[in-house]
Every structure is written in structure tokens, then in C-alpha cells.
Structure 1
């Protein structure tokens, strides 16, 4: 059981996000062939250490990779007014994108050099509205199953107080064959 206070946890989250932002390279992309030359660990470590370009979509929606390991991927960001729909809350597509990203990247962590993936099914359940008052949120993806041709992952979006905002699951088709 953690003895960390809410303020300490929030400070640690904000520090982790700023540290990640400071390391990221300028937004850019690589070809699938270039990505497939790297192991998943080399790929994500390269992005996290600023040696490879930061994916432009994360820059657009203002979220960054915080943590990754085999079968796990965590992004963090703070929803803002620029993400609002006409009803004055964050558009559901923001949460869907975060979940698609963290679950897909969790699957990517378990692939082998020479393999890629694409989302074939994405299911999202929204639990509570996101606003610019929520503060930092995390989108955490975890592997459920990786087979020869498909993989399944689950994800969740939560805040520093562990309030849940959305959950999701995905099925991804595995592309290519291991090198």
C-alpha cells in the first residue's frame, strides 16, 4: 500500500510527463519498413530517448509516452479546451484515440522484429466526461492475448485519484512475419 499523498502523486505524474516531454524529438514519422527493422524495445526506447521522431499524432493531441514494457504501455496528457466538442466537454474521440494508442502500443511491445499491427476492432465504454479541469490523465494498455495473426488488449483512462473515465478493448491484426 502506497503512503504517497495525492499532492505527491500529482507532483510525480507532472514530473514524469515533463521529463518525457524534455526527451522527445521533434514530431515525425518512419516508414513501416524502418520500424520493422527495430525490435519493439529499440523502437519505443528510441522514441522515449529522443533518438527517433515523436509520432505527430501524440503531439497533435498533446500526450506523451510515460512507461512501456512487454505487454504494457502508458501515455499521459491533460485534456484541454482544444479537445472540446460543441457540448463543452472533451470529444469522445480524444479518449478513443488515447485508448487505441495505448492498447496498440501494448500489443506492439510483444511483437517481434519484422512484425507490425493494425487495429481491426475498437470498443470503448465512456464512464464519465473529461474536461480541462480533470488535470493529467493516463491511458494504460495491457495485453490480453497475442497469437500468430491477431492480438487482443484492454485499456483504461484514469486520473491521479484513480477515477476511471473510459475503458476499452481492441483486436489487432498482426502484419508481417518475424525476422
Structure 2
């Protein structure tokens, strides 16, 4: 296996899906399982649990924000050459309905546009019937050596 710095973004994320490299530690705090990656698209299985509640007993908005930042970022990452990084500079989220507790949902990210310096992607959290829970657009700075 190549060293991670020698991998394209897609190769790196595929290695993560395959279990060849460890998943990001944030996936222990916010249960996210990157299960499918292709050029410009990422999919996660996600599930909020009792650790993610706000003081009123609902799932905190930070759960959806973290998931959407991750899935939109992975979609951008999948388009990058070896040694190139990225960072989110803008994340715009619309909460459409409350995230349910202890229900597996699907988060999907897809690239809208890539340029030399910026990547723009969108993400959504849906259930098995396609019902929309949250939507986001993200702009990422492409960091070249």
C-alpha cells in the first residue's frame, strides 16, 4: 500500500472504507461510517444516540452540522491529487426536520464545482424513504503544497 501522502484523495478514502487505514476519530464521537466513495461523491451511514441530545432532549444541531461538514468534505477530498489538502471555509446548513434518535440515516455528499483553489459541494441527510432531514452547501479551500 502507498503512503497516505502519495495517494489521491479517492485512494485515501477508499483505503479508509476498506479498513486499510483508520477512520477519523470524530466518527467515534459522531457515529459516521463512510461506506461508499467514488470520484465526487461520498456516502455515510449515521445514527444519533443519547450522547447527542440538547438540553430539551432533541438531537443537537451540531450532529447534523458535523455529519454534513464531513460528507461534503469527503466529496471534495475524493477529487484531489496526491499531497493536496483542503479545509472548509463556509458551511451553510438548513435543518428541515428534527434528526431522529437511534435511527440509521444516510448522508450523501456530492461535488458541485471544482476549481484550482475552491471546491463546492452539497450534502444531505435522508432516511431510507428519501425524506430530507438536513441539507448543506460547503465551500472548501484547496491547499496545494
* TM-score calculated relative to the size of structure 2: 0.94
Number of aligned residue pairs = 143
| Greater strand fraction, Structure 1 or Structure 2 | 2
- Give unpaired runs (5+ residues) of structure 1: 1-33
Match of 2:51 in 1: 82
1:162 paired to 2:130:
yes
Match of 2:5 in 1: 36
TM-score (norm 1): 0.76
Matches of residues 116-131 of structure 1 in structure 2 within 5 Å?
116-131=85-100
Q: Which has the higher helix share?
A: 1
Q: Distance in 1 between matches of 2:99 and 2:50?
A: 10
CA distance, structure 1, for counterparts of residue 46 and residue 142 of structure 2: 28
Between 1 and 2, higher relative CO (CA 8 Å, sep ≥ 6) is seen in 2
Unaligned stretches of 5+ residues in structure 2:
none
- Coordinate RMSD, CA, aligned: 1.2
Counterpart in the other structure of 1:112: 81
CA drift of 1:90 comes to 0.6
CA distance in 2, matches of 1:130, 1:163: 11
Larger Rg: 1
